[in-house]
Chains A and B, each alone.
Chain A
Amino acid sequence: MVLEYKVEGGDFTQAGNVSSSVKKVLKQLGINPVVIKRVVVALYEAEVNIVAHAYRGVVTATLDDEGIRIVLDDEGPGIASIEQAMVKGYSTASKEVREMGFGAGMGLPNIKDNADEFTITSKVGVGTRLDIYIHYV
């Protein structure tokens, strides 16, 4: 099963909609609740990152027999140093975004903590791709 969603950059009123849809599908499929919780945390953070930092993005969730792969591809400024971006507490979010309680530099570490496999590739001025895999067990 392949699910695809679009995410608009800057539109915080829609942030979380993709995560919510995927959560519903996983629940309907009877996936282990512990796994669903991990998917939800990782996906929400990745989704919010597109909203907070990119212009737009596409989320593709692919469910196979062993787990779920989520690929988030965005068009945006990209990440200059992935190593730095992965450091807890480091963030380039705007003041407005921080005032909403986002941009605390916890998003990427949250994704890493909840994913079984997690890779980021990014090109400055082009965009960023996150590839997340979470096993069902």
Chain B
Amino acid sequence: MTVKEVVEKMGLKVFSGEKGLDREVLGGYTSDLLSDVMGHAKEGEIWVSLQTHKNIMAVAGLKDLAAIVLVKGLQPEEDTVAVSNEEGLPILGTDEQCFEFTGKLYALIHN
């Protein structure tokens, strides 16, 4: 499944990094601790988080994650968007909270 398919199936907002919508999604990881993601997320996963600052892009890029989803209607900061566009690593958004969204994403990916 591609990031684009996840966006369509879950009705997500695409904030930035449209170039990367064809990236393959291999799983998901939900966490707000950057070191946790750094240590345990895997390549191709969608990262679900509340964090909106630029450092999430460094982590996502270094870990070759497929995309980031911001929950609860949160918006990425301006410099976060700039890096996302540069690197073609999409930042997506949902109004749902972490638990609900993660559950639905899990069901979608593991269906």
Contact = CB atoms under 8 A, between A and B. Distances in A.
Given A15-B55, A101-B34, A106-B36, 11 more contacts: A12-B54, A12-B55, A13-B79, A15-B58, A20-B62, A41-B39, A41-B62, A100-B53, A107-B35, A109-B39, A113-B39
Contact of B55 (A16, A23, A106, A113): A16
Shortest 5 CB-CB contacts between residues of A and residues of B: A16-B58, A106-B35, A110-B39, A101-B34, A104-B33
27 contacts: A13-B54, A15-B55, A15-B58, A16-B55, A16-B58, A16-B61, A16-B62, A17-B58, A20-B58, A20-B62, A23-B62, A37-B63, A40-B62, A40-B63, A41-B38, A41-B62, A44-B58, A44-B59, A44-B62, A48-B34, A100-B51, A101-B32, A101-B49, A101-B55, A102-B33, A104-B35, A106-B35
Contacts of B38: 41, 44-45, 110
A128 interface: no
Interface string B18-40: 00000000000000111110110
Interface of B: 32-36, 38-39, 43, 49, 51, 53-56, 58-59, 61-63, 79
A101 B51 contact: yes
B33 to A, nearest CB: 5
Residue in A20, A106, A109 with the greatest tally of chain B CB atoms within 10 Å: A106
Interface residue SS majority, chain A: helix
